């Protein structure tokens, strides 16, 4: 009988698993999103008036020196209804505290109002409900340029977010007071990057969604939690070939799944961030070759060896060390088929066996 060798190229493909973060924070955008054309619109923060006659009026042509000055401290005015008043207080937007001036109800921001940064620039102006912004209004970058604009259409709130150059970053919609909605996020060139469920507090992918390559092909299809791959999902290469189907944890491969190459299955079973560990099945040219224990990417422990070159006949059932039968088991055939596993690049844990190599991902930070 002939002796066949097989090489599992654990890195026949590189999967780049990303966390897709869609936040409404004040973090600086990455270079790719800051090197676009000059913005088509710039809205500067409102300047203050005398305290007794204070009201908010947008200034379209404010000078740089005027925009830098903080508004004069407003006074509190009380309406006929003692529960309603115009107050100065603090509000939280995406985990950050801002100075608030506007309408209130029972001591909470409620109605129309404005949230200011520490330097006096506007962060958000629009509608508040029981101390929280509804995002029916306008949000601003630190530069004073428009970040987002939200409108209400019946019970539906629709929000368009912008890059600092004025191009559209995302479009989202959600029902009044709902914690979940749907969103589309775009690459800087305008092509679709994400479509699916999102949270209304952080505006990140959360639930079921699809991430796309810039060429329009699917990259990931499955479950998201707080912007990261979490739960069951499918990962594809740029040519729409399925690479992995299984569990993800915080954006990385986790626990159990199936690995593919050119449409044929390579491995089905337990793994540690892409390195075969635990119980699994190894396939050669789409045919079952080994079923048993794996340690650090290599068959080790108890397992079964099959003749994948012919009819899949069981050859050996017993102990394996470094992918080779020790003889401490039952032999069913004289076939000399062996499993030789090689890898071009070591796995993240220093494995010398089969693995699905996953480099660090790219974070999209808003």
**274: burial class by Cβ within 10 Å (0-12, 13-18, 19+)?**
buried
Provide the 10 A C-beta neighbour count for residue 266. 24
Q: What is the DSSP string of 157-177?
A: EEEEEE-TTS-EEEEEEEETT
Which pLDDT value is given to residue 44?
39
SS3 42: coil
Q: CB–CB of 125/115 below 8 Å?
A: yes
Give the residue carrying structure tokens 């032999």: 331
The total number of structural domains that make up the chain: 1
Give the per-residue pLDDT at 82: 52
Q: What percent of the chain has pLDDT over 90?
A: 52
CA dist., res. 179 & res. 184, Å (int): 17
* pLDDT of amino acid 340: 58
Q: Is position 232 within any domain?
A: no
Say if 335 falls within a structural domain: no
Residue 215 lies in a domain: no
The answer to the question of residue 168 being in a domain is: yes
Q: Is residue 113 part of a domain?
A: yes
> What is residue 171's predicted lDDT score, i.e. its pLDDT?
95
Strand partners, 77: 86
Indicate whether 105 belongs to any domain: yes
pLDDT of residue 202: 77
Which pLDDT does position 81 carry in this prediction?
A: 57
pLDDT computed for residue 253 by the predictor: 86
CA 215/CA 243 separation, integer angstroms = 18
Q: Are 87 and 69 in contact (CB under 8 A)?
A: no
Quick: pLDDT tens for 335-358: 777 775 544 333 444 333 344 433
Ranges under pLDDT 50 in the chain: 1-80, 342-366
Domain assignment present for 213: no
Q: Which domain holds residue 143?
A: 36-203
Q: What is the pLDDT of residues 111-131, one digit of tens each?
A: 999 999 999 999 999 999 999
The pLDDT value recorded for residue 178 is 86
φ/ψ bin of 256: left (φ > 0), alpha (ψ from -120 to 50), beta (otherwise): beta
Q: Is residue 305 part of a domain?
A: no
β-strands 84-93, 264-272: how paired? unpaired
CATH number at residue 66: 3.90.930
Question: Nearest 5 degrees, angle CA 239-CA 288-CA 352?
Answer: 70
pLDDT score at 147 = 95
> What is the reported pLDDT for 261?
87
Q: Say how many C-beta atoms besides its own lie within 10 A of residue 255's C-beta.
A: 13
For residue 204 the two structure tokens come to: 């990140």
Under 8 Å between Cβ of 282 and 8:
yes
What's the token pair of residue 209? 């969604």
Q: Give CA–CA dist 109/137, Å, rounded.
A: 14
What is the Cα gyration radius of the chain? 29
């Amino acid at each position: 009988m002939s002796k066949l060798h097989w090489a599992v190229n654990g890195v026949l493909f590189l999967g780049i698993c990303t966390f897709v973060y869609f936040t409404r924070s004040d973090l600086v955008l990455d270079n790719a999103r800051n090197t676009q054309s000059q913005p088509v619109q710039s809205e500067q923060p409102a300047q203050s008036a005398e305290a007794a006659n204070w009201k908010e009026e947008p200034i379209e042509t404010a000078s740089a020196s005027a925009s830098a000055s903080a508004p004069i401290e407003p006074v509190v005015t009380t309406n006929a209804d003692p529960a309603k008043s115009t107050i100065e207080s603090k509000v939280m937007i995406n985990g950050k505290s801002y100075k608030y001036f506007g309408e209130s109800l029972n001591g909470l921001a409620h109605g129309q109002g404005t949230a200011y940064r520490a330097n006096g620039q506007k962060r958000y102006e629009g509608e508040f409900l029981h101390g929280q912004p509804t995002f029916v209004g306008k949000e601003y970058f630190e530069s004073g340029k428009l970040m987002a604009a939200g409108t209400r259409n019946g019970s539906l709130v629709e929000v368009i977010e912008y890059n600092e150059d004025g191009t559209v970053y995302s479009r989202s919609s959600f029902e009044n007071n709902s914690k979940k909605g749907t969103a589309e996020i775009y690459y800087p060139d305008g092509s679709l990057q994400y479509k699916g469920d999102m949270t209304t507090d952080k505006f990140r992918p959360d639930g079921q969604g699809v991430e796309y390559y810039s060429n329009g092909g699917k990259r990931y299809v499955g479950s998201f939690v707080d912007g990261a791959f979490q739960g069951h999902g499918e990962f594809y290469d740029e040519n729409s070939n399925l690479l992995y189907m299984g569990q993800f944890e915080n954006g990385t491969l986790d626990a159990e799944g199936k690995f593919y190459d050119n449409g044929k299955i390579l491995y089905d079973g337990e793994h540690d961030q892409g390195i075969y560990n635990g119980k699994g099945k190894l396939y050669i040219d789409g045919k079952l070759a080994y079923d048993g224990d794996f340690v650090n990417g290599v068959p080790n422990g108890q397992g079964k060896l099959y003749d994948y070159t012919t009819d899949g006949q069981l050859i050996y059932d017993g102990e394996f060390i470094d992918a080779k039968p020790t003889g401490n088991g039952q032999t069913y055939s004289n076939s000399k088929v062996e499993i030789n596993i090689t890898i071009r690049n070591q796995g993240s844990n220093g494995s010398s066996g089969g693995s699905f190599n996953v480099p660090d991902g790219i974070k999209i930070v808003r």
